[in-house]
Amino acid sequence: MPEPQARAEAALRDGFGRPLRDLRISVTDRCNFRCPYCMPAEVFGERYAFLPKPEILRFEEIERLAGLFAELGARKLRITGGEPLLRADLPRLIERLAPLPGIEDLALTTNGYLLADRAAELRSAGLRRITVSLDSLDDAVFGRLNGRSLSVQRVLDGIEAAQRAGLAPIKINTVVVGGVNDQELVSLARHFRGTGHVLRLIEFMDVGTRNEWRRERVVPAQAMLERIDAEFPLEPLEPTMRGEVARRYRYRDGAGEIGIIASVTQPFCGDCTRARLSADGHLFTCLFGTVGVDLKTPLRSGASDDELRERLQAVWRGRRDRYSEERGDAGSASSQRVEMYRIGG
């Protein structure tokens, strides 16, 4: 007879038959950037009230929940924020998560500004991969997009440090906003070709409610592909696993690959296997979710593992999110969405 947890994992599917495979864990709602598509400076000023420390999940609480998610089928963990490198003693959390039974991949997404001094320590703690958000190689554009006039060189130094530390292959995520940084597609491709890093171009999405998203500012995936292919010929690659968000292409000359994430023009809700845990312990089942399910209160009120596991199963089995598909259905998508800085990208 299979163990009860194994049976639960085998049966755990949401309302559209999608399994639970990925958990994204936000460790802080704070960030040192003020990117206009996530935390615009005019909203998140110096006096903005972020979560007080007692409201944020402790490392042992994150470890416990991550272990339960792994029992229910999660195989990949990704640490996010805010900016996760602002969380004190982050390598201690990595050390707790890396050996969890069932976890096959442990990664982190960062803006890279603090990475040069932390990469080796994170790798030693057990981090396996890293994704760096980088929206421009031009200092003026980069400064505009990070909202703090910070230089891109420090991020590039962080990428080099991560490569030296063995956090490879490194993914470079670029949110492409029409009229802002879309003219850099070819230069970004040229810069990262042949490095072993994977550039991933992301359509500008209406995550949250404060980024002034407009459809006309979305550069469609097909247009991105055509621009790069005209300079560096590409050919498609097959997905490596179910739920892979990026459509992958390789350079025909063997200089590596790129990915394009087309949540707006080519929604991939049908294969979404991701759950998201906010820094204050709320479970969201969609990047465009509205209200999360509180896990922190039962966790701190003495709930057993069985009780928490049953709560997680109930949430996932009741999941019917497909926001990106609904976005195109004449206004049927919700206008009240969780802000990206709370649950990561």
Identify the DSSP state of 170. Answer: P
Beta 274-277 vs 105-110: how paired, if at all?
Answer: unpaired
**pLDDT value of residue 205:** 76
**pLDDT value of residue 64:** 98
**pLDDT value of residue 8:** 47
pLDDT in tens, the chain (345 residues): 345 455 445 569 999 999 999 999 999 999 999 988 788 888 888 888 899 999 999 999 999 999 999 999 999 999 999 999 999 999 999 999 999 999 999 999 999 999 999 999 999 999 999 999 999 999 999 999 999 999 999 999 999 999 999 998 899 999 999 999 999 999 999 999 999 999 999 998 776 666 666 778 899 999 999 999 999 999 999 887 766 788 999 999 999 999 999 888 877 777 889 999 999 999 998 877 778 999 999 999 999 999 999 999 999 999 987 766 666 554 444 557 677 777 776
Our CA angle for 148, 151, 152, nearest 5°, is 120
On whether the CB atoms of residues 207 and 38 are closer than 8 A, the answer is yes
CA 207 to chain centre: 12
**pLDDT value of residue 328:** 56
> What residues contact residue 279 under an 8 Å CB cut-off, 6+ apart?
26, 27, 28, 29, 51, 56, 57, 81, 82, 342
Beta 234-236 vs 247-251: how paired, if at all?
Answer: antiparallel
Residue 156: give its domain's CATH number: 3.20.20.70
On whether the CB atoms of residues 167 and 128 are closer than 8 A, the answer is yes
Q: Please count the structural domains in the chain.
A: 1
Q: What is the side-by-side strand order in the sheet with 234-236? A: 234-236, 247-251, 257-261, 198-203, 171-176, 129-133, 105-110, 76-80, 22-26, 274-277, 282-284, 293-294
**pLDDT value of residue 263:** 83
**pLDDT value of residue 2:** 46
Containing domain of residue 136, as a range? Answer: 4-343
Token pair belonging to 325: 């598909």
**pLDDT value of residue 211:** 63
Q: Decide: helix, strand or coil at residue 100.
A: coil
**106, 157, 193 from 123: Cα distances, Å:** 11, 16, 24
